Structure 1
Amino acid sequence: MRKATLFLFLLSCNPAFSDSIQKWTDASGQIHYGDTPPSTASIQQRIEIHSNFDESAYEEAMKRNSALYEEVRQIEKREKDQARTAEKRLDDYLKSLDRKNRESERSKAKKHRSRERERNRVSIKLRRSKPSRARTEKKKSLKIY
């Protein structure tokens, strides 16, 4: 957008449109330049600008500028497309990372649950295999008789 604005500004700054510049000094002694001096100016001087305005060169410059403008527009469009593509790729990558993290968390939770189940099974087996103190006391007392 800035390039297009600059293009239009430079196009409007064609010096061929002005024929002369007026130079004058006001009552306080300050020098001013402009197209038309005020009638109360103390000293007036007219500076002629000789311009060799060529209509064909102007038309050629306009064609060149319009071609450059079109090229700038195409470059800007290509850059926008590339930015859109890069943004989509980044979004897809972040989604895949999020999916992998969720899968990793699920597998960790699953492993943790299976370890807990195994610990519970082992502790139940140990409890069943160890005779209780009361049972061993009864057995000892029975053997004594």
Structure 2
Amino acid sequence: MLSAPWDPDAFRKVISEAMQDIAGTGSTVTWVLNNHDQVRTVTRYGEPATEGSGLGAARARAAALLMLALPGAAYIYQGEELGLPEVVDLPDDVLTDPIFHRTGSRARIRDGCRVPLPWSGQASPFGFTPGAESAKPWLPQPEYFAEYATDRALADTRS
């Protein structure tokens, strides 16, 4: 499911093939929608990172529900439970992904999903570190992460 686009036929194919691959083996499938090498589903399924909840978020929730209903194990990547979108506007000088540097600054593919989680508060570092200059996060968190912070999700009855 990790590389499947938002398409019922693509999901059906991935699921069918995975189930066929393990048939008769006694093993189970581990289902994955996100990881540290892929653009987050909220963004991948149709939502720019700065627009809040919308089409991409609804599709990401639907895909997660589908994944969780399947037999086997489900892998939830950090921030997926918060509905975090991809951070698409990181400045070049903060990028740490070796692929970015090895491609002469052309491949901006992985740091956007590796930004530290927003735990609490209204400003970076959102409880991820104490906030002192010596303990700032390795990648900057955008201001809009405040709306996705864990403390806010815990207080929201719809979360």
* TM bracket, shorter-chain basis: under 0.3
- Is the radius of gyration larger for structure 1 or structure 2? 1
**More strand per residue: 1 or 2?**
1
- Per the normalisation by structure 1, the TM-score is 0.18
**More helix per residue: 1 or 2?**
1
- Per the normalisation by structure 2, the TM-score is 0.17
